[in-house]
């Protein structure tokens, strides 16, 4: 099964730089705080970094996936699985956000192609609109009527979710450690 993935490459670069920069800053802050106040206080920067990395990872994971009969809009929290038969069109709103139009005046906003100042000049939302339009005009959707209903699911992003789980585990373990070793 062939598929095409539409995403802003600039987001991957930007959030990659942010995550690495925050990681270096977190290490420096933990070392500095630990040297002044001890590790009992210094470790607290680690879960904050992991939470920020998880949030940035979810945002960077936003994309549109074009499969044979299905368009998948992956937003940071929710993914929309839209059968080709249910899509009535695609457009860029006045604010520059790409929207997939469905029946009954419903639409799904595509977070990956939200309006931005850079997009105003580069036109990545318009380019995504063109590619999705070509996909819609390609071979007709061959799907069963009961499969034509759009679905919404929680977005899964392994790296971001692992970072958030690790944040919770370290914060919980650290809180227990601080409570048991209280001064």
In a domain, 35, yes or no: yes
3-state secondary structure of 105: coil
What's the confidence (pLDDT) of residue 42? 85
In a domain, 43, yes or no: yes
In the chain, the number of structural domains is: 2
In a domain, 1, yes or no: no
Q: Which helix (H) or strand (E) holds 109?
A: strand 107-110
Contact between 30 and 45 under an 8 Å Cβ cutoff? The reply is yes
Which CATH number do you get for residue 96? Answer: 2.30.29
In a domain, 2, yes or no: no
What's the confidence (pLDDT) of residue 41? 85
Report the alpha-carbon distance of residue 32 to residue 77 in Å, rounded. 35
In a domain, 17, yes or no: yes
Report the alpha-carbon distance of residue 62 to residue 108 in Å, rounded. 13
Report the alpha-carbon distance of residue 91 to residue 107 in Å, rounded. 10
| Domain identity same for 69 and 144 | yes
| Domain identity same for 17 and 48 | yes
Total Cβ atoms within 10 A of residue 106: 11
83-105 pLDDT, tens digit each: 999 999 999 988 888 999 998 88
| Domain identity same for 82 and 135 | yes
Cβ neighbours of residue 4 closer than 8 Å, sequence gap 6 or more: 65, 66, 131, 135
List the domain range (segments joined by +) for residue 109: 63-155
Contact between 110 and 75 under an 8 Å Cβ cutoff? The reply is yes
| Domain identity same for 123 and 87 | yes
What's the confidence (pLDDT) of residue 1? 56
How far is C-alpha 94 from the chain's CA centre?
23
| Domain identity same for 68 and 151 | yes
What's the confidence (pLDDT) of residue 143? 54
For residue 82, with 0-12 CB atoms within 10 Å meaning exposed, 13-18 middle and 19 or more buried, which class applies?
Answer: buried
In a domain, 41, yes or no: yes
In a domain, 87, yes or no: yes
Please tell me the pTM assigned to this model: 0.84
Q: Tally the residues of the chain.
A: 183
| Domain identity same for 67 and 151 | yes
| Domain identity same for 132 and 51 | no
In a domain, 145, yes or no: yes
24-61 pLDDT, tens digit each: 999 999 999 989 988 888 899 999 999 999 999 999 99
| Domain identity same for 35 and 110 | no
């Amino acid at each position: 099964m062939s598929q095409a993935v539409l995403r802003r490459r600039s987001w991957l670069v930007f959030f990659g730089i942010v995550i690495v920069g925050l990681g270096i800053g977190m290490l420096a802050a933990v070392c500095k705080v630990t040297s002044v106040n001890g590790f009992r206080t210094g470790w607290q920067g680690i879960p904050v970094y992991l939470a920020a990395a998880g949030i940035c990872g979810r945002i960077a994971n936003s994309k549109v996936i074009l499969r044979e009969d299905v368009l998948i809009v992956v937003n940071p929290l929710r993914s929309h699985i839209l059968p080709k038969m249910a899509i009535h069109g695609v457009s860029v709103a006045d604010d520059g956000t790409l929207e997939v139009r469905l029946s009954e005046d419903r639409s799904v906003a595509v977070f990956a192609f939200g309006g931005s100042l850079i997009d105003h000049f580069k036109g990545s939302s318009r380019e995504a609109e063109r590619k999705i339009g070509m996909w819609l005009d390609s071979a007709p959707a061959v799907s069963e009527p009961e499969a034509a209903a759009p679905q919404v699911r929680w977005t899964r992003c392994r790296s971001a979710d692992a970072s958030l789980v690790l944040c919770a585990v370290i914060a919980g373990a650290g809180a227990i450690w601080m409570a048991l070793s209280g001064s």
